[in-house]
Chains A and B, each alone.
Chain A
Amino acid sequence: MSRISNAANSMAKLDELARQDTWLNRIHPLAKLIVTLLYLVLAVSWKPRQLTGILGMALYPFLLFEIGGLSFKGALYRLRIVLPVVCLVGILNPFFDREPVLTVFGITLTGGVLTMLSLMVKGILTVLASYLLIASTPVESVCGALSMLHIPGILVTEFLLICRYVSVLLDEADRMTQAYALRAPGQKGIARIAWGSMIGQLLLRSMDRAGALYQSMCMRGFQGEKPLFHMKRFRSCDLLYLVIWSAVLILLRVFPVLELVGRLFV
């Protein structure tokens, strides 16, 4: 299987996960969306050197992976391209900020190392939290929840089309590379000389496709306002989910939980 169809398959797998019937999938998308957004805001709001506080925020994704029945290994596998990129952010910090601030087990940490680590952890945690939402909620439900939050229809439509479109684009790229490979047997990859026209073609075809998809929406009553999604009723257990997690997240943000736990043992 080529790398491109592999990527397409990963997306399909994620979509499949989102359509399973588990308690987490059944929670109302709006509740999950709000909790995720709250988490992102709170996690990002920690100051760069407050590493222990940020680490405390890890409780949410890890607990949810556990009780939501989602595979953590599977997540790491699917995010294997994104996570290293996230970790690159802040990699230069240790070179700029060399002031020692902390000694752990005899190792002196500089401010730069600390900020690098906390940026990495923030990045990883926010990616994991977003993954948890996407892996437990179908795309159109996320869109429906965004509409309920009064996000402008045009942005919701954009989000929906991008999600649909990434798979179309991957398919198209896959088809082109396959067609190429079939007519260039024994050749590894695509010859440098063909790159230009391949990329140009892909772009043109994608634009054509996007235009046609939009026409198809217009033919079925879409007039540029927000598309309509069917949302189930917001039940009391959804409210419970929302309230409990919000409370936990705010507690994690207000109290440096890890430090408190650490003090118990000192």
Chain B
Amino acid sequence: MSHIHIDIADLSFAYEKGSQILDQLTVSFHEHDAVGIIGANGAGKSTFLKLIVGLETAQAGSIRIEEIPVEKKTLPKIREKIGYVFQDSETQLFMTTVREDVAFAPRNYSLPEDEVARRVAHALDLVHITHLADKPVHKLSGGEKKLASIATILSMTPDILLMDEPSIALDPRNRKNLISILNEFDHLKLIASHDLDLIWDTCNRVILMDQGRIAADGLTEEILRNEALLTAHGLELPLSLTNRMVTVQGPADKPPAKSPHRAP
């Protein structure tokens, strides 16, 4: 497989003239990066992810995925590589049943029907919703919808994962399962979330966004432990860190990062 990477240079974006949402972002992501994107409400996290998959178009700057520029005619090729979980799972699901929805992508990529069935079964099994396979989408609970939309992406077996608030609405057990799925996914992943504990458990690199700019980019341990930095940008220490600091009075254990990334 070619070396997976995303290069972003001088990216600027505004939904409406005059109110800049992203302001000259320059950043690169590499094959085994697990990047947490954090920032207060409205910082531009979702917008950033949408730009990467070409759901919005930047006014200035460039995005390249494995050297392919993100533009209208390259979108089908790029989207084949990327699995994107929307922040609002209500809008991610469009078929009538969970099974049909999870089968949509593999079928669209013209896989043979037995392979489609295998992938669907595997994806449903990964997120523990095999029992919901034939349930109509509009009858799912909020968390079930989230799990189903994650399954629709897993069945694509993407090279790159982009997730916007994946743990929202999940109960502790399903959240834990999500963490292990994310940790098993060995390629590049970008996770935008307010769930800093999830980021702590799954990412080796964190980007802190504020008002459309990158306020900090570095190792998870460095950024998520930096209380002054976090509070300055409207965030707080991850809960598990504060708890452990109180009870153990020592640094929390960070699971070993798969491939530590240097801060630029």
Interface residues of chain A, those whose CB is within 8 Å of chain B, are 8, 12, 15-16, 19, 138-140, 160-161, 163-164, 167-168, 171, 209, 212-213, 215-223, 227-230
> Which of B7-15, B100-108, B184-192, B235-243 lies at the binding interface?
B100-108
Asked if B91 is at the interface (CB within 8 A of a chain A CB), the reply is yes
Interface residues of chain B, those whose CB is within 8 Å of chain A, are 53, 55, 75-76, 79-80, 82, 84, 86, 88, 90-97, 100, 103-105, 107-110, 113, 116, 134, 136-139, 152, 156
| Docked CA distance A201–B157 (Å) | 37
Report B-chain residues with C-beta under 8 Å of the C-beta of A164. 94-96, 137
| Docked CA distance A164–B110 (Å) | 23
Question: B200: shortest Cβ distance to chain A, in Å?
Answer: 28
Report A-chain residues with C-beta under 8 Å of the C-beta of B105. 220-221
Report B-chain residues with C-beta under 8 Å of the C-beta of A229. 107
Residue among B94, B104, B134 with most chain A CB within 10 A:
B94
| Docked CA distance A212–B50 (Å) | 11
| A220 engages B138 (CB within 8 Å) | no
| B79 engages A216 (CB within 8 Å) | no
The 10 lowest CB-CB distance pairs between A and B, nearest first, are A212-B91, A221-B108, A220-B105, A228-B107, A213-B94, A167-B138, A216-B92, A219-B84, A221-B109, A215-B55
| A221 engages B91 (CB within 8 Å) | no
| A221 engages B136 (CB within 8 Å) | no
Question: A154: shortest Cβ distance to chain B, in Å?
Answer: 15
Report B-chain residues with C-beta under 8 Å of the C-beta of A139. 96
| A19 engages B94 (CB within 8 Å) | no
Query: Can you add 12 more A-B contacts, CB < 8 Å, to A8-B138, A219-B82?
Result: A12-B139, A19-B134, A138-B97, A168-B90, A212-B88, A221-B80, A221-B109, A222-B108, A228-B107, A228-B108, A228-B110, A230-B116
Report B-chain residues with C-beta under 8 Å of the C-beta of A216. 86, 91-94
Report A-chain residues with C-beta under 8 Å of the C-beta of B109. 221
Report B-chain residues with C-beta under 8 Å of the C-beta of A12. 136, 138-139
Report A-chain residues with C-beta under 8 Å of the C-beta of B90. 168, 209
| B91 engages A15 (CB within 8 Å) | no
| B96 engages A15 (CB within 8 Å) | yes
List the A residue with the shortest CB-CB distance to B50: A215
Residue among A218, A219, A229 with most chain B CB within 10 A:
A219
Question: B166: shortest Cβ distance to chain A, in Å?
Answer: 15
Report A-chain residues with C-beta under 8 Å of the C-beta of B55. 215, 218-219
| Docked CA distance A240–B160 (Å) | 49
| Docked CA distance A222–B79 (Å) | 10
9 contacting pairs across A/B (C-beta < 8 A): A16-B136, A168-B90, A168-B138, A213-B91, A215-B91, A218-B75, A218-B79, A219-B79, A230-B116
Question: A208: shortest Cβ distance to chain B, in Å?
Answer: 8
List the B residue with the shortest CB-CB distance to A164: B94
| A227 engages B100 (CB within 8 Å) | no
| Docked CA distance A218–B54 (Å) | 10
| Docked CA distance A227–B101 (Å) | 12
| B103 engages A230 (CB within 8 Å) | yes
List the B residue with the shortest CB-CB distance to A11: B138
Report B-chain residues with C-beta under 8 Å of the C-beta of A16. 136
Q: A221-B105, A221-B108 are in contact. Are A163 and B94 (CB under 8 A)?
A: no
Q: A209-B91, A212-B88, A230-B107 are in contact. Are A220 and B152 (CB under 8 A)?
A: yes
List the A residue with the shortest CB-CB distance to B80: A221
